[in-house]
Amino acid sequence: MSVAEAVVVKKFAALSLDEKLDRLAEVAVRVGLGLKPGQELIMSAPMEALPLARKITEQAYKAGALLVTTLYADDPSTLARYEYAQDASFDYAPSWLQEGVANGFRGGAARLAIAGANPALLAKQDPTKVSRANVAASKAGKPAMELITRHEINWTIVAAATPEWAKLVFPGEREDIAVAKLWEAIFAASRVNVDDPVAEWKRHGERLKKRVEFLNAKRYAALHFKSADGSTDLKVGLADDHLWAGGGTTAGNGVYCQPNIPTEECFTTPHKDRVDGVVKASKPLSHQGALIENIAVRFEGGRIVEAKATAGEDVLNRLISTDDGARRLGEVALVPHNSPIAQSGILFWNTLFDENAASHIALGQAYSTCLIGGEKMTSEELAKLGANESLIHVDWMIGSAEMDVDGIAADGTAEPLMRKGAWV
């Protein structure tokens, strides 16, 4: 850190929490969404994120929002369902609401999600009920989700520090201290602890774009991940006509947005039938309120044929049994181990952060925008190129300071892309 940077960080540290939230809200609206004057905003947030949701609402109206509508989720109410609801409740989801949200998107609305739900909320609930409820919610949410995964609209995710999440990230700390520490980690990872966060994001976006252009020019046929201890030795074939993406993107509605705050990844679409070898997760995974630890799986011809975990193995097995595509990859992403989030050394138990700390793969749905001309293709055309289709999309981390990655050309020659987790 230079002297100039030290002064800037100190200036940020001198701000009140209220002012810091306002900075994050400004980045969310101006950088994350690129919200246009007259555009509607549909937001989702946990109840505990109310102060940030209010700041984002203010910033959205200042940017000219037509109307901001927020759907709040309340953890005790969710738990009440698991405790008292009749059995049929777990196969039901409000498709009327999701249809309405999808209609809002089709009518021009942007979407913002505040992440911060308790990662272990449903850890003690019946996994069958959890997975039934997730399947019902995924089915009902599909029309809205498709508009998001196809980048038809501008959307973004930002995070809020909430008490249950903070206690999991900083165990042993008093609740208020844990929450304060998590907020500081979020501000740093989200690059708002600088003088001009909007300008810093512009620079960061340009750096990511350069990396993406390099990878796109290479046209690799596959990536080879290899860990020092041999627990990962995985060849990930890339989809024909794959496109790397990272940083900002111009959505189908013409608005330039940064879909994740923070973001450090360059990602693309693997070929659903060309993944072989073994891979071990480098971090635990929190999936819909359940924790899955030490995931180790074996792929054959693109399909998971063996899946193990030291905790949450049943949740993992249910997850990959959601549909045929749930056993196959829909994303592969490269993240250097020297990213600010990785350097913080914090395990966030939250994909938005942990996936930006390490190279990762995702089971399930592929992003059609990661294929040349993919936005305009039918599901059949996408499948022909090797893009996977599923109700799920779950990222899990495989990168570490011990991971080497090679790019494999179409003729089989390998060249080093990453050594010990860092770009070559």
Which parts of this chain interact with Zn ion (CB under 5 A)? Answer: 265, 267, 331, 333, 355, 362, 395
Among residues 140 and 362, whose Cβ is nearest to Zn ion?
362
Q: 332-341 burial by CB neighbour count: b if 16+ within 10 A, else e?
A: bbbbbbebbb
**What is the Cα–Cα distance from 135 to 389, expressed in whole angstroms?**
15
CB of 303 to Zn ion, least distance (A): 19
Name the residue type at position 396.
W
Tell me which amino acid residue 333 is.
Answer: A
CA 174 to CA 142: how far, in whole Å? Answer: 40
Judged by beta carbon, residue 48 or residue 264, the one nearer Zn ion is 264
The answer to whether the CB of 317 falls within 8 A of the CB of 351 is no
Least distance (Å) between residue 386 CB and Zn ion: 17
Token pair for 117: 């739900």
Q: Shortest distance, CB of residue 362 to Zn ion, whole angstroms?
A: 4
Q: How far is the CB of 361 from Zn ion (least distance, A)?
A: 9
Closer CB to Zn ion, 60 or 223, in the complex: 223
From CA 94, how far away is CA 267, in angstroms rounded?
32
| E strand or H helix that includes residue 412 | none
Q: Which is nearer to Zn ion, 106 or 142 (CB)?
A: 142
**Closer residue to Zn ion, CB minimum distance, 24 or 357:** 357
Nearer to Zn ion, 28 or 366 (CB): 366
Query: Nearest approach, Cβ of 106 to Zn ion (angstroms)?
Result: 24
Label residues 37-66 b or e (16+ Cβ within 10 Å = b).
eebbbbbbbbebbeebbebbbbbbeebebe
Neighbours of 379 (CB within 10 A): 10
Q: For the CB of residue 239, give the shortest distance to Zn ion in the complex, in Å.
A: 15
